[in-house]
Amino acid sequence: MKKIIFFDAADYEIDYLKNACEGHFDYEFVSDTLNDLFSPSESEKQAEIISCFTTSRISRELIEKFPNLKLIALRSVGFNHIDIEYCKERGIYVENTPNYGNMTVAEFAFALLLNVTRKITPAYNDLKNSIIDTDHTIGIELFSKTIGIVGLGAIGTEMARLSHGFGLNILGLDLREKDELKEKYNVQYVDFETLLRNSDFISLHTPLTKDNYHMFNNAAFEKMKNCAVLINTARGELIDTQALYNALTEKKISGAGLDVLESEETLTNPDYLVDIGRMNVQSLQKTILNNSLMKLENVIVTPHIAYDSKEAIERILSTTISNILAFNNGQIQNNVY
């Protein structure tokens, strides 16, 4: 039987995965994330399949520690945390779990938008501290305003559906235009500069590529409305953190709702607390900036949980097992390259 190791294994996943693997695979569960410091045991080195979440960072150096590896079964859509080029070189397949969180992530993005525009978290914090200051919590309506959606794939499409229901005008930026979105939700496709200049709210739903790294930089923020709110549930690296901090503190935009950050693992992975030497200068700088962002009143930050609903988790696990079983039968599905 092929050996599988499930890393980043949460308690709520184990029963499902155990039942699916029983009798088909030799399997283990490891709660730790994968990174260059991880030292696999002799048993773990025999794994032909490993499965992990986005909290793991799978570099060439790490992959080399698993000489028998044939498949990385991701429990996520994103794969920018994997050295894909080395996987190609080694003939290791990398399979993801697409479309598990379309509605879940879009709903969360919209929740962030409502939270920032109606100042829900500041109002709650005020009340906990026995402060009642309605001038401090004056919000703005969404109805009849304009939202720019960057990336109109499966999640972005759901964001357009929700936005249309709230009576928002919708500008879209994508490599491919969908006639159905124009017809159903009155989406108007525009270029990036037009979206920046005309959007009251901008929500990011595009995968990270070498071409859109730091697409929201100083130049982009200069073109945005002073009243604009930026929502990011995609990837932190789409935004230059220093440029965002500057734009917020200099009131070039009015707020942000962020479920993802650059170098977010330094905030959420306890390994960095016990071994701060793992941080390079760049990640340390990003961590300081991230902590500064979280102190701003016009910013809501959550720990990469937009995907985290009961329904989405069930879809992740189901697709992961489907990918693994198909691979075991000589079939490749959802390979990312």
For strands 201-204 and 146-150, give the pairing. parallel
Please count the CA atoms within 13 angstroms of the CA of 181 that sit on its side-chain side. 26
DSSP single-letter state for residue 129? T
Contact 59, 37 (CB under 8 A): no
Which amino acid would we find at residue 264? E
Q: How far apart are the first and last CA of the chain?
A: 26
Residue 42, judged by CB atoms within 10 A of its CB (0-12, 13-18, 19+), counts as exposed
Show the tokens assigned to 204: 């990011």
Show the tokens assigned to 291: 């902590």
Q: Of 178, 235, 185, 184, which Cα lies nearest the Cα of 210?
A: 235
Catalytic residues: 235, 264, 304
**Rounded CA gap, 327 and 94, in Å?**
11
Show the tokens assigned to 184: 């159903």
